[in-house]
Structure formats: structure tokens, C-alpha cells
Amino acid sequence: MFEKIKQAILEGEADITVDLVKKALAEGIDPLEILNKGCIPGVERAGELFEAEEFFLPELITAGEATKAAMEILMPELQNKKTGGWQSLGKVVIGTVEGDMHDIGKSIVASMLTAAGFEVVDLGVDVSCQRFIEEIKKQSPAIVGLSALLTSTMSKQQEVIKALESEGLRGQVKVLVGGAPVTGAWAEKIGADGYAEDAVAAVKLAKKILN
């Protein structure tokens, strides 16, 4: 069953993944086992294939979406006190900055962070600086992820960091930035804690900075 779930994720078959996860739960398999032995190995393998250039972005996206669909079923079970054993690696608030409607890159990062064990609050696209601040105050995340896919919206990442400083919140949260025009040099210039060029790198970076 675990191998079937892993394979369905690798093939980007969200409906099949969901059916297999539901079947596994119905058979009494522990949701933590389903996550650790089926879902995570599947999406991690997709990441490995992407890094090896055997998978391309569309395949990584569909694998992430399949994992996300599985997690929507597993999360309530994992958070149920009766199951126990699952503990979030940390909370992440993520969104695409104001003026930018690009969703795919941010969504695949959110999916892979969730699959890796983070609790992710996805604010969507065109997220204002004020909304980021409000959610950070409300959610108290360990990490905030700021995505910008346009050179014209990159400055909004800097705007959020400055707002965090003025609100006295900067020391409470790590800021990760990403997006097609974003670079490590830009991240350093605006005072971000890190830059990731893709979803695989984002997961590794998130784990690293929290450790």
C-alpha cells in the first residue's frame, strides 16, 4: 500500500493518491505510517528526480499537488489526539506578495513544506504587507515565506521585512524569499534570512534555519 501511494504521488495522480490514502485509513493503517512510509518518500523522490533533472517543473508540481491532496485527508487524523506521534516541524506563513498573481511556484513550495512536516498557512496571491503582518501576529509562525515572480513586485518583499522591523516582530520570525527574479544577493540586500531557488531547496532551507 505504501509503495502504491508513493508511486501515485510520483505519477502526479491526485485522485488515485486520495483513494489509496482513504483505503489505507479504512484498513486501520496508522496515518503517521501512511505519511512517513508513503507520502513523504513519494514527494522526496520527486524532489530528488527534479534535482537530477529527470523530473521537470510540471512533474514536480503534480507530485506536490497529489501530496497536498493526501495531506488534506491525513492532517485531521494526524492532529487527532488519539493518533499521537505527529509533531509539526514548525509553522510557516507563505504567500505571493502584493501586485503579483503568480500562484504555481508558491503553491508547490507550500505543498512540499506540508509534506515535509511543517504546518503551512497559505495566504494565496496578491497579499498585502498589512495582511502578512496581521497573519504573523495571529499565527506566530517560525518562518514567513515571501514569493515574488515579477521584478516589479520584488520590492514588496523588502516592504514586509521593514514592516516586521517597525512592528517589533523581526526577531520572532525567519524570512525566506523566492521567485524567478529573486537571487541570494537580493535576499541579503533586503535582510532576509534566506533564499531558495525552488521548492526542494526551500524545504531544505526551512529545516536548516530552524535547526
Q: Structure pTM?
A: 0.74
| Residue 85, pLDDT score | 57
State which fold the 91-210 domain adopts.
Answer: Rossmann fold (3.40.50)
Which amino acid is residue 7, in one-letter code? Q
pLDDT by 10s per residue, the chain, length 211: 999 999 999 999 999 999 999 999 999 998 888 988 999 889 889 888 988 899 888 898 889 889 889 988 988 887 664 545 567 889 999 999 999 998 878 888 887 888 788 989 999 999 999 999 999 999 999 999 999 999 999 999 999 999 999 999 999 999 999 998 999 999 999 999 999 988 889 999 999 999 8
Q: Is the dihedral of CA 92, 204, 96, 103 positive or negative?
A: negative
Per-residue model confidence (pLDDT) at position 185: 97
Residue extents of the structural domains in the chain: 2-79, 91-210
Residues 144 and 127: their CA atoms lie apart, in Å, by 12
Does the domain at 2-79 match CATH 3.30.365.10? Answer given as no
Residues 6+ apart with CB under 8 A from 37: 2
Q: What pLDDT score does 81 carry?
A: 47
